[in-house]
Structure 1
């Protein structure tokens, strides 16, 4: 009997153990299933790209990929909307575990009695689950799934996080999804600024989003809103006065357009941050003012059939973009959607300051050095100045300020095209990506393309190099020329401090900025320095070939403004120049910026030298001189080659020498003498220039050079063109002679061809091949050059 009982107890224990083990496994599986029943991310819908100013004000937004206006979720739900939605949808939201059994029971009884669904019982948590499971049928089984997932969501997220999910994904009519975009679309303000009536209106919409449309629904929407406001009053959430004022507010008539204060910046910033809400570095008020300035100038520019312009404003100290206008408010026909700030365009003269800085830095130029401005032909390339005139010789800093083309090309050839092209890599101009051979000497006059963004960062780097050098112990930062920052949470990385310069030293950049400060301002700005509130601005213009692109970039110690004006399709227009078209816009934007002080002098990057007053070279013992500061490498520059010690007779009327005049009666003087070709143009532009007195006719002429060819240059290759009648054009040979009244006798291949007096020009028509041209004046001075006439194609 005992054995039977023991066997029975053993079987019972075994049965219970097996049974409980199965239950345990089932319970464990159910718990695992419950734990994983909720997706890690409830919503994977595409969101709109949203841009705010640095103050948090909406600048613009792009519709999501699914054509819905759906902003990325905010961090929290505004107080007014939170109270409204809870009172309207789920009064026990903060007390239930994801579902409300009392509401479910009441809804079940009401629906059974009526034979149809007349009352819902979904909590806000359940509605979040339903929104995430869009497209599912509203069956009791689906309701059960929603209930289970709602309880799981309550265990995973806080109540405020759940409410935030609802506010971000609730439907508000049409293609408007989420509280924030609904607030902008229906009331034109952010959700934080909603009134109680506006918040109540939006709170009732997800329950019946079709009510937002005007017409017969308006009265129903108003009824639901006012009912909710009354409940808020009853619950003492708002007082009676607020309630009375709220019910008098009108409903929205039609959707507002979303702000489009910086549409091209939105396009630029969202290309790398699609579907995100970004707080930018743009200053809201400055952006609006810049928009207004651009619009005003556009009204003038389009009268000349110029339709596009872009403006970029940066804070140089932080390298943050504070205004970005990518185009004018033109039409689609004139490509209003093109962001011209990022578009590659011909640089015109905008790179000239960097060549000037390069030559100062290498000690191959001083600011006051005279550089040749004469007709020039280099390997078949013949640059001309914008006004097609020549000064003969001009100070380097003035050649930069006046943006003279011929001196720039000659300096580039002297400095080295390949060396300068390589140094441009330090400035990270992504569109300047060809070799020096591809660009040739036209690189300095617009033969290359860059964009306003890259050019502005180069000019900003120039300014910040000077700032940092003077603000530190004469140190440099390793990363001065990187991309500007345009997101508020980011800070520009200037790199490490170093004693070594990045590319050019602070002294060279400072003197470049000093030269650019002297650029002639456009009409109505000429007297700028006489006004107390005037700003010292270093600025440069550029105009591309064919008047297709007009540039103006300016810097102060604190700010940079960059402007491009033209047509996005590349069509050139008369009078479209940097000075006429871009500069006025630039100065209007600077007027919208606070005044700042000028750059501090980087004394440790400069050295004091004595220069010749007339030539700007280092002074020789016979030069009238002055002392200036130049980059340290400038101390090794050339000594003045233009001052000569000449001997005059007692009356200083003639030059003399030992062959014709007693030594004891000679008067020796230092005389400033330019080469004949430079002198020919220089003396017409400088009234103080005096040619050397003529040599006494009784004296032997020991001067090596009395005259020079203006055109053609020695060893030049020439292609003879034809006029409209088909006749071959002649070559016009020109000579510069210190005595214009002298007679010059011309020879072609040792054959006499004519004589000129006063105006030393003669036309020749050589055959194809190499030729010798010789000019001899009446005193026997001779000049010979060689040319080659090439076949026409």
Structure 2
């Protein structure tokens, strides 16, 4: 009986309003004065979108609801027209209260003894959603009518429709048609089919008992009733209704888009974050790189991560930003944005070292320089492969990424100048506590981020002008201190960097780049550019553990080339300008770099030290199961032992490999030609 009386409320109100009796009007007026105004601006989800407006990542409201804003023209027009036909046929005619519908509901209730149709308009439903008021009492229903009338005065019909589409409940914490469309169908509400439209019309009437992820059968029946009604009203054909009725009901919620998740998180948490955060991200490129990097990192093994940053160096706009794969994998390290993580840059600063020498007028790409054993006070650098190449040009030394020539040049220009120019590029060099810039920073003895290295190489691509990054078109660029190199020095540097003509290696044509590997194989880098974009790739372990035998050339470079395969390449103007002056035609002071003092190759070598793996470390077994071995100091040839068994004998090179039988603890020993030894204990892990 109580339920029957509740159902009579709308119809009785209709009679009251139609009669216009003095008492009825006085009651309505009294309730209206006591009814507070609605707050139309309800909290909505912050959304981060790409340059073309496509959704990168939405966030829940502070209350935990998915309420993703949507405009009326972004919703399938059929959903809007069918919704009005099903819920409120005279929406554009009434003033918020459909009196004819109320009388019809009363007549049907009295004639049939049950509710045949409702009388609540979309304006009244919106008033209930915004006020969260009950409609089970006469007073509550009157308040809803009052609020609906107020909405009609304040807002246009299109604005009321838009608000309804943004607040209609769809079960759980889903509110609004856009959130429901993504959660149940994995797409925008502008791309719906007939079955999906009917389901979205049916759900708000009983969102908790019809939600398809829990009550699929109830959802199916409700959807099919909508289809039957639309067919009966001649809005769709019987054939279309029958076909849509057979469509499957989504039985689970789908994840919301999460592209550029680290970047989106930073933008959303900023003090000036708006409701819709527009970015410069290229949606297709971002999606393609995230998928590719996820596959690549999985192939490297557990614990590995890959970061990539793509910037248009002409405008400074960030086109793709991948801070690492697997944000929702449950791995805590996946939450670290490796684009902003401070790491050792390996050899990636060598181009700037030589560029500063070109600017200072003490070197030229074709200046001859010596690659031989040398010490600078107590610092004695070695090349990555520990061999020596003798006399060569600076351009050749850079292409071979030799350490000794780079440190010889850095010794002349000074580490402080290198540090200062890094700051001009927008970087913040980090050193050990109380340490000052030293020669070791030329080989990675300084902390930098991938973003800072991309800025540096972007400045080189811009003929020395600092690169200001920009992610939000409406915001000011992230400023830096000005010019990093002179235009002339930058031009010489680009001509002397790792560049292979199109005819020799088509995949690398038009590209200027440098690889780098940090001490202990912890970081693998490739940073470079063409005529339009600068790209940075980092590969390693976020926990800074030794990553096995990974190098910039073998691990990061293939990903770098894959990025440009997606972008397409364009030649840089510097690579098409005049050729470099030959050594014989250079001024005499530029023909040969100044001699450096230090011990000769005949000086007795120090005792051997196992440089990799380091003592007492856990080493992940990768790929083919081989483990790299590297010795510093000592005299070749070397003999390597694993648990007392020889694995490499009479090795002339300072790098060797062995394949352990399986995971577990192992003792590695190296013996040089003079019988001196070093030993480390490690644990091999799968």
> Is residue 2:522 matched to residue 1:548?
yes
For the residue of structure 1 that corresponds to 2:536, the secondary structure is: strand
1:176 Cα deviation after fit: 1.3
Question: Given the alignment, which residue of 482, 486, 489 partners 2:471?
Answer: 486
Q: Does 1:64 align with 2:61?
A: yes
- CA pair 373-456 structure 1, distance change in 2 beyond 3 A: same
For the pair 1:308 / 2:293, whether they are aligned, the reply is no
Q: What is the DSSP-based 3-state SS (H/G/I as helix, E as strand, rest coil) of the residue aligned with 1:530?
A: coil
Which residue of 132, 140, 143 maps to 2:141? Answer: 143
Partner of 1:512: helix, strand, or coil? helix
C-alpha contact 2:521 2:548 (8 A) present in aligned 1: yes
> Which of 316, 319, 323 is matched with 1:319 structurally?
316
Task: Give the match's secondary structure for 1:342.
Answer: coil
**TM superposition shift of 1:403:** 1.9
Q: Secondary structure at the match of 2:548?
A: coil
> What secondary structure is seen at the aligned counterpart in 2 of 1:571?
coil
Change (3 A) 1:100 1:49: same
Contact 1:81 1:199 in 2 (8 A): yes
Q: Tell me, yes or no, if structure 1 residue 585 matches structure 2 residue 571.
A: no
Contact 2:395 2:496 in 1 (8 A): yes
Instruction: Determine whether 1:224 maps to 2:205.
Output: no
Report the equivalent of 1:618.
587
Q: Does 1:516 find its partner at 2:485?
A: no
Of residues 239, 253, 256 in structure 2, which corresponds to 1:255?
253
Give ranges in structure 2 of 5+ residues lacking alignment: 1-25, 610-632, 636-672, 675-686
**Does the 8 Å CA contact 1:612/1:640 hold for their aligned counterparts?**
no
* Structure 1 residue 282 corresponds to structure 2 residue 304: no
CA contact (8 A) 1:293 1:589 kept: no
8 Å contact kept, 1:68–1:177: yes
Check the 8 A contact 1:318/1:492 in 2, yes or no. no
Deviation at 1:539, TM superposition (A): 0.8
CA RMSD, 1 decimal: 4.1
Q: Distance in 2 between matches of 1:211 and 1:418?
A: 69
- 8 Å CA contact 2:323, 2:337 repeated in 1: yes
In structure 1, how many angstroms separate the alpha carbons of the residues matched to 2:334 and 2:375?
41
Match of 1:375 in 2: 373
Q: Distance in 1 between matches of 2:310 and 2:349?
A: 19
Q: Distance between the aligned counterparts of 2:596 and 2:418, measured in 1? A: 28
Following TM superposition, by how much is the alpha carbon of 1:550 offset from its aligned partner in structure 2, in angstroms?
A: 1.2
How far apart, in 1, do the equivalents of 2:450 and 2:273 lie?
23
Aligned to 2:56, the other structure's residue is in SS state strand
User: What are the within-5 Å matches in structure 2 for residues 70-149 of structure 1?
Assistant: 70-74=67-71, 76=73, 77-107=75-105, 120-134=118-132, 138-149=136-147
**Structure 1 CA distance for aligned equivalents of residues 292 and 449 of structure 2:** 21
Taking a change above 3 Å as real, the CA distance of residues 408 and 89 of structure 1, as seen in their structure-2 partners, is: same
Partner of 1:297: 296
C-alpha distance 135-416 of structure 1, shift in aligned 2 (>3 A): farther
Aligned-partner Cα distance in 1 for 2:352–2:593: 26
Provide the rounded CA distance (Å) in 2 between the counterparts of 1:292 and 1:215: 27
Q: Is the 8 A contact 1:126 1:150 kept in 2?
A: yes
Q: How does 1:326-341 map onto structure 2 within 5 Å?
A: 326-329=323-326, 331-333=329-331, 335-341=333-339
- SS in structure 2 of the partner of residue 344 of structure 1: coil
Tell me the SS of whatever aligns to 1:311: strand
Residue by residue over 1:292-337, the C-alpha shift from the partner in whole angstroms, topping out at 9 and shown as x without a partner, is: 33233223321xx551111122233333222222213484346223
Distance 1:212 1:400, change over 3 A: farther
In 2: Cα distance, 1:465 partner to 1:148 partner:
67
| Matched ranges for 1:434-445 at <5 A | 437-445=435-443
Tell which deviates more after alignment, 165-174 or 356-365. Answer: 356-365
Write the distance in 2 (CA, Å) between the matches of 1:151 and 1:133. 14
Distance in 2 (CA, whole Å) between partners of 1:609 and 1:190 is: 59
| 8 A Cα contact 2:177 2:200, kept in partner | yes
Distance 1:565 1:263, change over 3 A: same
1:593-622 deviations in Å (ceiling 9; x for gaps): 21322324697xx99867437xxx523xxx
Q: Is the 8 A contact 1:80 1:194 kept in 2?
A: no
TM-score (norm 1): 0.65
User: For the Cα contact (< 8 Å) 1:618–1:640, is it kept in 2?
Assistant: no
1:766-781 equivalences under 5 Å are none
In the alignment, which residue of structure 1 is the partner of 2:206?
Answer: 208
Q: Per the alignment, in what secondary structure is the counterpart of residue 312 of structure 1? A: strand
Deviation of the 1:137 alpha carbon: 6.9
Q: How far did residue 159 of structure 1 move? A: 0.9
Residue pair 2:508, 2:561 contacting (<8 A) in 1 also: no
1:372 Cα deviation after fit: 3.9
Change (3 A) 1:732 1:573: closer
| Secondary structure of the structure 2 residue equivalent to 1:554 | strand
Q: CA deviation at 1:249?
A: 2.7
Counterpart Cα distance in 2 of 1:640 and 1:219: 84
Helix, strand or coil at the partner of 2:497: helix
Q: What runs of 5+ residues in structure 1 fail to find an aligned partner?
A: 1-26, 467-476, 520-526, 620-636, 643-673, 682-708, 713-717, 722-730, 734-760, 763-793
- Using the alignment, how far apart are the partners of 1:219 and 1:732 within structure 2? 76
Alignment partner of 1:87: what SS? helix
Output one character per residue of 1:9-43: Cα deviation in whole Å (capped at 9) or x when no partner: xxxxxxxxxxxxxxxxxx9xx99x9799535x424
